[in-house]
Structure 1
Amino acid sequence: MQKRGKRQVRVILFLMGILIIWNACIPQEQKEVNPEMQAFEAFFTANGDSVSIAPRKVRTQALQKMQEIKDSLVRYNYLIVASKTCMMSSDMDSARLLIQQIEDFTERQPFSPQLADLQSDCFNMKGNVYARTGHMDSAEVYFRKAYELRMHGTKIEVVPDILMNLADATNRLGKLDVGAAWYRRALLLCDSLNITSTKKPPIYYGLAQIYVALRDFEQCDYYYNLAARSYEDMLPFEKHFYLNNRGTSYYYRGDYETAIDYFRKVTDLVEGYPDMVFELNLGWLNLGDCFLQVDEPDSAAKYINKCQPFFEKTGIITALYYIDTQKIELALIQKDLPKAWRILSESIISPDIDPDMVNIRNKYLQQYYEETEDYRKAYFYLKENNRMDDSIRNERVEMRTADLALRYQQDSTVMAQKVFIREKENEVLELRQMETLWIALTTITLLVVVFVYLYSKKKRALLLAQNRRTVSSLRLENIRNRLSPHFIFNVLNQEMAGRKAEEKQELSSLVKLMRRNLELAEQLCVTLAEELDFVKTYIDLERRSLGITFHPMIEIGEGVNPEQVQLPSMLIQIPVENAVKHALKEKEGERNLWIIIARQANGISIQIRDNGGGYRPNSRNRGTGTGMKVIMQTIQILNMKNKETIDVAIHNVSLSNGEIGCEVTFLLPDKYDYRIK
């Protein structure tokens, strides 16, 4: 990550160098300042802030100025300003029309840095239109084009604004690590080019929003607090973004009262600016969801009905999707399941929906299908949300690592100072007296000796603890089904209530198998009686699918007391399950399974044998090997602290009838300690 950050600095400095050289090579007559462009720059400087505060007024002035200009390039710069005002007043059709006119003009012109600036503005506006209407894939494409063109233009100081738009688009597509990288690049540019610090607060609350998505609220608050320091200096639309996003962070924490306070501040803010219609309706939309969460359906319905006409008129897909999601939950609260189904069947579906919104919708859909007793679909949406949560957790590790690597690479001046200080420190170290050096070396040597002693003393205990965690992880991986066991048992018990006696027995065995499976997965060792009871239950359930040709046999020799013999949990069950699933299920003819337990001179011998054709490494049915990995890892840990070890052998055997089978043999010593301290 550090190398990548350094490459970014070099690329930026390289591009700046190219611009300087290019400028030096331009003939003097081409460097003459265009008075009309100068007038435009003065106009934009005077009215830039008013684009968001009084967009209609600025639009009128820009269109008037445009009629007075002879230079076509300058004329279309005024048209860019007009398109921005259309965006601010939520007049999306007019914004699209103006952007298309600008795009048609730029395609006919020869390249120049000034044209690159105009094209960059055009693509940036086009990306904003797509982002506002919920087409984030297209928004990302045009923001990236705007960024690349701006790097060939004359106004590199506006690049951070484009990078913020690009970061926001990638965030809403769920690519949080990419979004964070764009925000970091924006900060790096601000510091490297000495750009005014007023551009940093939007970057800070953009980074905060990434940590909201990652549910890392400590880092989220850190960046929001950095942004809050400049709140009074923010423009109205920047204040809106800050308040809205911070309210969203409290929504995802479950602190709905605080979220409501922030969203009320949003509506209070934008009500003073008549052209901020989109921002006002967005505040109402968020308030509607918060009131659903605090069980105030009447208030929720009021805000949903207030904002729905606006979003239907503007065709903003993500907002309409969010409204449908809230209406589904509102119908569920009102116990109106037919209405919930009608909304669900008529709902807008788009591939560009924000993952967080999909997560909220999935939660409500799970609730709907639970209430309609369609547990299969309820289970599907529960799995989908768990999958999304796992993805976020994996990205959280990446993000924290990237944050540590990039945090101190943002200010090139600070980095240069650190290098200078380190060089001076090295010079001082070289001038130190030899006596001080020997004292330091002696101290280090003593510390190393103490460290080695302590490390050697605890190495065995640490290794055992690490291996035990590995076993626990493998066990959970082997039995985890991503669904609450209580939920499964409740569903199966409901199914048993309406079944016949013989069917109840099979379901009862399945419930018993699942409960026992969960219990054994949490125990390192069990008695032979408990293990065999679990194996018998499993075999009984498999009899139906294997048919009358399946002949299991369990033989316990003399001198073996199942209640007193201990062994690692699932030691027998996993080889038995492997034999059934990977050898016997698809075998034709007689299917035999032998479990032979006998006493030997120095312990207990356990053999699991089948006639399934033997172990074949290249077989398509050979499985993943996770189960046997659990057994071997468990035995390895236990053997490390026992003088006499458990022996394991797996090999193919020739049977008396000429068939080939696979045999797994375990030898358990009599005096064996199954405890891990």
Structure 2
Amino acid sequence: MWVAVVLSGCICKSNDGKTFEMQEFDSFFAAHVDSVATAPRWMRTQSLQRMKKAKDSLVQYNYLSVVLKTCLATSDIDSAQLLIRQIENFADRQPFSHRLADLQSECFNMKGNIYSRKGYIDSAAVCFRNAYELRLQGTKLEAIPDILINLADANNHLGRLDMGAFWYRKALLICDSLNMPSDKKFPIYYGLAQGYMTLRDYEQCDYYSELAAKNYDDMLPDEKHFYLNNRGNSYYYRSDYITAIRYFRKVVDLAQDYPDMRWGLNLSYLNLSDCFLQRNETDSAAKYLELCQPFFQEIGSTTALYYIDTQKIELALQRKDFAGARQLLMRSKTSPEIDPDMIHIRNKYLQQFHEETGNYKQAYNYLKENNRLDDSIRNERVRLRTADLTLRYQQDSTLMAHKVLLQKQENEVLVLRQTRLVTLAIAVVAFLIAVFLYFYNKKKHDLLLAKNRRTVSTLRLENIRNRLSPHFIFNVLNQEVVSRKEEEKQELTSLVKLMRRNLELAEQLCVTLDEELDFVQTYLNLECRSLGPDFHPNISIGEDVHPGQVRLPSMMIQIPVENSVKHALRGKGGECNLWIAVNRQKSAICIKITDNGGGYRPDSRHRGTGTGMKVVMQTIQILNMKNKEAIDATVHNVTLPNGEMGCEVTFLLPDKYDYSI
């Protein structure tokens, strides 16, 4: 498994970091998606900066799609159209991939939003349908409900309210299948409310509006605008203009806090002007018309401009300005995209105009036309309600059949899982008991073994020291008795110091190099008198060695030095040399004790019992059992530069050595 992880990591790195860059984009967008609506200009700047740093072209154009979203949020339609063409040109040159399908879907969704704002609802519906089909081939299925909401809204504007409700319910079903939280469903609720408002089914409209209102605090600014605008429209169609004005003014208050919500602000002005017209408050109506008209002329929204002209005609009629009304009627044109409800309102005003000007024949024609539209709209609403009920029944029946089948399969799977779970639980419990007993016995055995080893090691070290201390003291005292003729204060002081230090070292497992060399120097000072002027001891320490920080087993240098003096140099004719050299070798300290006493000879009568070196070797052996890196000790004869034969004892001490037992 670890090999697979390493290989997969190598593959990701060998792919020029493309996967990592795409994951970085996904993390960035998920963390700041709300900023598209709340801080679009900041989001645009961040996306452009990251786009320049990205090496993968697909990642670059994903950042560009975020810039496209921010242009729509600030109603910068011209820039948005330019970005859409750039993304489409890039996508046409690329081979198919799931991430490319996500990018193309995003592009079509934004393109549909632009068509919708300009009043080209047929084109918008086609773009939303393409966005939905491409998203099904992509990786981000959680974006499908938002696209279906746009598609349903476009169908509502086209008068296909049954299909609008169908797509809204499909979006709701996908939200449930993806286990999306309830706060992601409120756009569907107020979309369904809008559809039932158009069907004048105000009971269903209020039901879904209340469901959406539960998540009002979680809505983004543009979502709050959509919700409040629909609520205002629903009361407008009920002729409750006071309540409608209250909701539209809430939209104005909301939009004024977000300078980039120009579309929502001006749409609210347009709705407020109509409400005031219905209440014959011409001054307020004229004020709001003057506020919103420049914006809709700037973006070229045919539907909004037609609506503005219609309200201006009514405004002129209420002010008895028949000449102004006639001028507006002459220059105003009806576009195929205009909603039948707006045509109906326009015809009502035309009928009123001709009645006021005495052209009763033309007024009668508009009256008949409006009656025909009334019947047509009424019949269409009946048909759409019937179609909606049929689609709801089909969806509910299909969903119920699926639920029954799924419940049956879930029950079968549940029984199988329970059987397997019980079997697995028994096996796991048995395995855990066996593992527990194994490790318990192993731990108990290891603890007992460690305790025995500590006991044995302690006894061995105590035994070694008990053998060493008397042996050393008697050697020194014997030598002093033989060699000294009269008591000398300095010599007695050195002897006392040597005996006291020997007793202290016998109680310690390890000492510093500084302490050990001080003890050796005291011993050598005593031996210098008996060996005479021909004895030349030499102690050298490397510059990179710090004696106070180096630790070693106690008496590790003293015992080889004592052996050299006693068995090699004492009684030797000529110069007697003893060298003690301490140097660093990489991560270890090298200690060498060398003499010119003729070398180690097993058959020599001066070779001694070997007790001292045996103590050193046993101590090292016990300590090495606890360490990964061992102390290395060697004893061998060497040929000196002057041709003499000598004995050399070498110790190699690792830096990280543990002296605890």
Superposition TM-score tier, normalisation by shorter sequence: 0.5 to 0.7
Aligned counterpart, 1:326: 311
Secondary structure of 1:273's match? coil
1:264-292, Cα deviation, whole Å (9 max, x unpaired)? 11101111111111111111111011000
Q: Determine the structure 2 residue equivalent to 1:188.
A: 173
Contact 1:247–1:263 under 8 Å retained in 2: yes
Q: Which residue among 371, 378, 385 is the counterpart of 2:363?
A: 378
**Change in 2 beyond 3 A, CA 1:407/1:173:** closer
The match for 2:559 is none
Q: Which amino acid in the other structure matches residue 273 of structure 1?
A: Y
* Alignment match, 1:285: 270
Give the aligned partner of residue 291 of structure 2.
Answer: 306
Query: Percent identity of the aligned residues?
Result: 65
Counterpart secondary structure, 1:34? helix
Q: How far off its partner does 1:215 sit?
A: 1.4
**Is the alpha carbon distance of 1:420 and 1:89 closer, same or farther for their aligned partners in structure 2, counting shifts above 3 Å?**
closer
Answering whether residue 346 of structure 2 is matched by residue 361 of structure 1, we say: yes
Q: Quick one: distance in 1 between partners of 2:49 and 2:272?
A: 40
Q: Is the 8 A contact 1:92 1:129 kept in 2?
A: yes
| Alignment partner, residue 51 of structure 2 | 66
Q: CA separation in 1, counterparts of 2:141 and 2:361?
A: 55
What's the TM-score, normalizing by structure 1? 0.56
CA contact (8 A) 1:102 1:122 kept: yes
Asked if 2 retains the 8 angstrom alpha-carbon contact of 1:62 and 1:82, the reply is yes
Once the two structures are superposed, residues 464-509 of structure 1 have per-residue CA deviations (whole angstroms, 9 ceiling, x without a partner) of: xxxxxxxxxxxxxxxxxxxxxxxxxxxxxxxxxxxxxxxxxxxxxx
Which one of the candidate residues 90, 93, 117 is aligned to 2:102?
A: 117
In structure 1, stretches of 5+ residues that fail to align are 1-26, 424-677
Query: In structure 2, what residue type is equivalent to 1:229?
Result: K
Counterpart pick for 2:118 among 133, 152, 156: 133
Kept after mapping to 2: 8 A contact 1:289/1:326 = yes
Partner SS for 1:308:
helix
| Residues 158-210 of structure 1, C-alpha deviations (whole Å, 9 max, x = no match) | 11111111111121112222212211211121122223323321111111111
Check 1:74–1:377 CA distance in 2 against 1; reply closer, same or farther (3 A cut): farther
Query: Which whole-Å CA distance do the structure 2 matches of 1:288 and 1:346 have between them?
Result: 21
- When the two chains are superposed, the root-mean-square deviation of aligned CA atoms in Å is 2.7
The 1:179/1:375 distance shift into structure 2, 3 A limit, reads farther
The answer to whether structure 1 residue 254 and structure 2 residue 239 are counterparts is yes
Of structures 1 and 2, the one with the larger relative CO (CA 8 A, separation 6+) is: 1
Cα distance between partner residues in 1 of 2:113 and 2:352: 35
Return the letter of the residue paired with 1:344: L
Aligned AA (2:37): S
Distance 2:190 2:366 in 1: 31
412 and 234 in structure 1: CA distance in 2 versus 1, 3 angstrom threshold: farther
TM-score, with length taken from structure 2? 0.57
Change (3 A) 1:284 1:411: farther
Q: Deviations over 1:381-424 (max 9, x none)?
A: 3333333333333343344445545557469887666679999x
Is the contact made by 2:199 and 2:385 (CA closer than 8 Å) also made in structure 1? Answer: no
Deviations 1:224-280 (A, max 9, x none): 111111111111110100000110111111111110011011101111111111111
Show the 5 A alignment for 1:534-573.
none
Partner of 2:550: none
**Aligned AA for 2:108?**
F
Residues 381 and 40 (structure 1), Cα distance of their counterparts in 2 relative to 1, 3 Å cut: farther
Task: Call closer, same or farther: CA 1:252–1:45 in 2, change over 3 Å.
Answer: same
1:75-94 maps to which residues of 2 (within 5 A)?
A: 75-94=60-79
Where structure 2 has 5 or more consecutive residues not aligned to the other structure, the ranges are: 1-10, 410-661
1:142 Cα offset (Å)? 1.0
* Whole-angstrom distance in 1 between the partners of 2:369 and 2:52: 56
AA partner of residue 84 (structure 2) = I
Pair 62,303 (structure 1): closer, same or farther in 2 beyond 3 Å: same
Alignment partners' CA distance in 2, 1:223 and 1:411: 21
1:376-455 correspondence runs (5 A): 376-404=361-389, 409=395
**Could you tell me which of 26, 32, 35 is aligned with 1:50?**
35
Cα distance change on mapping 1:377 and 1:198 into 2, 3 Å:
farther
Q: Secondary structure at the match of 1:363?
A: helix
Matched, 1:210 2:195: yes
The alpha-carbon deviation at position 33 of structure 1 amounts to 7.5
**Residue correspondence of structure 1 range 145-164 to structure 2 within 5 A:** 145-164=130-149
The CA distance in 1 between the partners of 2:407 and 2:51, in whole Å, is 55
User: Where do residues 474-489 of structure 1 align in structure 2 (5 Å cutoff)?
Assistant: none
- Is contact 2:18–2:56 with CA below 8 Å preserved after alignment? no
In structure 2, the residue matched to 1:317 is 302
Name the CA distance, whole Å, in 1 between partners of 2:403 and 2:95: 44
Q: Give CA-to-partner distance per residue, 1:326-374, whole Å, 9 cap, x none.
A: 1000000000111011112222432112232222222212211222233
The aligned counterpart of 2:217 is 232
Name whichever of 209-218 and 262-271 sits farther off: 209-218
For the Cα contact (< 8 Å) 1:88–1:275, is it kept in 2?
yes
Is residue 264–residue 283 contact of structure 1 (8 Å, CA) maintained in 2? Answer: yes
Task: Say whether residues 1:268 and 2:268 are aligned partners.
Answer: no
CA distance in 1: counterparts of 2:390 and 2:301, whole angstroms:
38
Which whole-Å CA distance do the structure 1 matches of 2:186 and 2:137 have between them? Answer: 26
Cα distance, 1:312 vs structure 2:
1.4
User: C-alpha deviations, 1:406-458, integer Å up to 9, x for none?
Assistant: 557469887666679999xxxxxxxxxxxxxxxxxxxxxxxxxxxxxxxxxxx
Whole-Å Cα distance in 2 between the matches of residues 404 and 138 of structure 1?
A: 27
> Contact 1:317–1:348 (CA<8 Å) still a contact in 2?
no
Within the alignment, does 1:38 sit opposite 2:41 as a pair?
no
Q: Please state whether the residue corresponding to 2:156 is helix, strand or coil.
A: helix
Counterpart residue number, 1:441: none
* Bigger mean CA offset, 188-197 vs 92-101: 188-197
C-alpha distance in 2 between matches for 1:405 and 1:170: 17
Distance of aligned partners of 1:366 and 1:76 in 2 relative to their CA distance in 1, 3 Å threshold = same
The code of the aligned residue for 2:138 comes to G
SS in 1 for 2:139: coil
The amino acid across from 1:39 in the alignment is E
Contact 2:65 2:107 in 1 (8 A): yes
Q: CA deviation at 1:376?
A: 3.7
- The answer to whether the 8 A contact 1:213-1:356 is kept is no
- Cα deviation digits, residues 266-322 of structure 1 (max 9, x gap): 101111111111111111111011000001000101111111111112222211111
1:352 lines up with 2:337 in the alignment: yes
Mean alpha-carbon deviation: is it higher for 310-319 or for 119-128? 310-319
Structure 2 vs 1, CA of residues 405 and 193 (structure 1 numbering), >3 Å: closer, same or farther? farther
Match of 1:241 among 226, 233, 239: 226
